[in-house]
């Protein structure tokens, strides 16, 4: 057991203690079979049940319609960047017999990395916008649709990609852009690595959802995918030869979505312990009242923390425009120089950890994912206030 942590690291992140306690038991002796869950065949009855349970619980939590399929793959979000580009360009080819560019809505470093990977793989792709150009050359703002929808309307895209929550820059799409979701010819592809299950969404709006596990839903190593079945069918229509002739990338077999789905996520050895931890997180969330209850808690946490920082706006700088502040990653800096180390040291003395900002942006970042309690956020908010009072 352990004292309840107040850990604000961006990922891998804190998980519910009860989940870890159950996982620890199951690692040694799963369902009293005399073997740990990491020691059984990924095709055994017990392992298959873990896969089925994880899918069923996720479907229940996210109200996933029958038009969509859930699967899991190894590798993190970065593997997703590559597999999305190669699978989705094939899907468009399978559907239309044509190639069209992928459109990327770049709002921070993760969507930028994903765009860069599409380019590296020679998947035709373009930025629909780069939010930096709207905001003093920095990330921290999402331009309103009126400022970029002309670049989408009437145009063909193999898919349009966005990152719902930019973990490094603390920028979150408040809702999905209507000019994309209303267009029946555009498949919306979204990276939900740092906000999956943090708020209610309408899965039917998405062609594909991808989310690395290590923030809201489990341990590093597995990535969750939710895909429209029609996209799977379209990918299956395309041969490797066709792709090769067009100079398009051929997806490595372990990341070829139709192959993975056909084999119920066990085409190759799925890390079943990691998936079980994910399922335990799903069960934990269901027992807490599901995503709706979690969303209410997350909104409360964000309000408490942003409230404390805004109260001392002469002392703290919040670089993100209030219209797109993340409810998961609260990014801030101190206006006074020379106090950063002291802030971290005093926080650590109160057992508030993981607050250092990403190396590329500096300052501080408090990640308040699902497993971070309201009490932890209240503790942090009161520290934020007292630190400002002491040093103003
Ligand atoms: N997307 C987002 C939004 C992320 O926050 C991260 C990692 N922090 C990634 C993708 C990349 O994930 P991984 O390190 O698992 O490849």
Longest dimension (CA), the chain: 67
Kindly state the average pLDDT of the residues 324-336.
98
Among protein residues, the one with the nearest Cα to ligand 1's atom 2 is: 193
Task: Say yes or no: CB of residue 11 within 6 Å of ligand 1.
Answer: yes
* pLDDT value for 7: 98
Which pLDDT score is estimated for 324? 98
Digit-coded pLDDT (tens) for 139-159: 999 999 999 999 999 999 999
Domain range annotation of the chain = 17-286, 290-391
pLDDT (tens digit per residue) in 63-74: 999 999 999 999
Q: If DSSP codes are grouped into helix, strand and coil, which group holds residue 166?
A: strand
Instruction: List the residue whose alpha carbon is closest to atom 12 of ligand 1.
Output: 77
Domains 17-286 and 290-391 share a fold: no
For residue 110, indicate whether it is catalytic.
yes
Q: What's the pLDDT score for residue 359?
A: 87
Over range 282-292, report the average pLDDT: 98
Which residues does 93 contact at the CB level (< 8 Å), separation at least 6?
A: 99, 158, 238, 242, 243, 246, 248
Mean pLDDT of the region 325-339: 97
Query: Which CATH architecture best describes the domain 17-286?
Result: 3-Layer(aba) Sandwich (3.40)
Alpha-helical segments (H) within the chain: 17-28, 45-62, 77-96, 109-120, 178-181, 229-236, 240-245, 257-262, 272-287, 290-311, 340-349, 374-391
Q: Is 216 in the pocket of ligand 1 (CB under 6 A)?
A: no
- CATH number of this structure's domain 290-391, picked from the four choices 3.30.70.20, 1.10.630.10, 3.90.1150.10, 3.40.190.10: 3.90.1150.10
The closest-lying atom of ligand 1 relative to the alpha carbon of residue 76 is 15
Q: Is 194 in the pocket of ligand 1 (CB under 6 A)?
A: yes
66 tagged catalytic: no
Place 244 in a pLDDT band, splitting at 50, 70 and 90.
very high
Evaluate the CA torsion angle 232, 233, 238, 240 in order and state its sign: positive
- Return the residue matching tokens 């995503």: 291
Residue with the smallest CA separation from ligand 1 atom 15 is 76
With the most atoms of ligand 1 within 8 angstroms of its CB, the residue from 117, 162, 193 to mutate is 193
167 lines ligand 1 (CB under 6 A): yes
Q: Please compute the mean of the pLDDT values over residues 187-198 and round it to a whole number.
A: 98
Please say if 191 is a catalytic residue: yes
């Amino acid at each position: 057991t352990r004292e309840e942590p107040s850990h604000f690291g961006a990922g891998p992140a804190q998980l519910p203690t009860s989940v870890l306690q159950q996982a620890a038991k199951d690692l040694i002796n799963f369902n009293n079979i005399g073997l740990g869950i990491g020691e059984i065949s990924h095709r055994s009855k017990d392992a298959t049940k873990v896969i089925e349970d994880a899918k069923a619980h996720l479907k229940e939590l996210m109200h996933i319609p029958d038009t969509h399929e859930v699967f899991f793959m190894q590798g993190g979000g970065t593997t997703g960047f590559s597999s999305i580009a190669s699978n989705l360009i094939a899907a468009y080819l399978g559907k239309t017999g044509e190639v069209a560019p992928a459109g990327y809505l770049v709002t921070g470093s993760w969507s930028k990395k994903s765009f860069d990977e599409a380019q590296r793989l020679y998947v035709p792709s373009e930025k629909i916008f780069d939010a930096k150009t709207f905001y003093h050359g920095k990330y921290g703002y999402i331009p309103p649709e009126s400022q970029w929808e002309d670049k989408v309307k009437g145009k063909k895209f193999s898919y349009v990609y966005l990152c719902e929550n930019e973990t490094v820059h603390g920028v979150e799409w408040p809702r999905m852009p209507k000019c994309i979701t209303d267009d029946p010819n555009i498949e919306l592809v979204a990276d939900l690595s740092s906000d999956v299950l943090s708020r209610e969404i309408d899965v039917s709006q998405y062609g594909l959802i991808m989310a690395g596990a290590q923030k809201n839903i489990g341990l590093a190593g597995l990535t969750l995918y939710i895909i429209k079945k029609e996209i799977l069918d379209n990918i299956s229509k395309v041969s490797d030869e066709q792709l090769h002739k067009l100079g398009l990338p051929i997806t490595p077999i372990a990341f070829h979505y139709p192959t993975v789905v056909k084999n119920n996520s066990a085409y190759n050895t799925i890390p079943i312990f990691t998936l079980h931890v994910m399922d335990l997180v799903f069960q934990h969330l269901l027992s807490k009242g599901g995503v709706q209850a979690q969303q209410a808690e997350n909104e409360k946490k964000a309000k408490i923390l942003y409230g404390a920082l805004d109260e001392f706006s002469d002392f703290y700088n919040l670089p993100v425009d209030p219209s797109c502040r993340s409810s998961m990653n609260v990014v801030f800096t101190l206006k006074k120089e020379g106090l950063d180390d002291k802030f971290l040291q005093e926080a650590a003395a109160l057992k508030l950890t993981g607050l250092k900002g990403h190396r590329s942006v500096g300052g501080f970042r408090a990640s308040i994912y699902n497993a971070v309690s309201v009490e932890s956020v209240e503790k942090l908010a009161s520290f934020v206030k007292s630190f400002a009072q002491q040093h103003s």
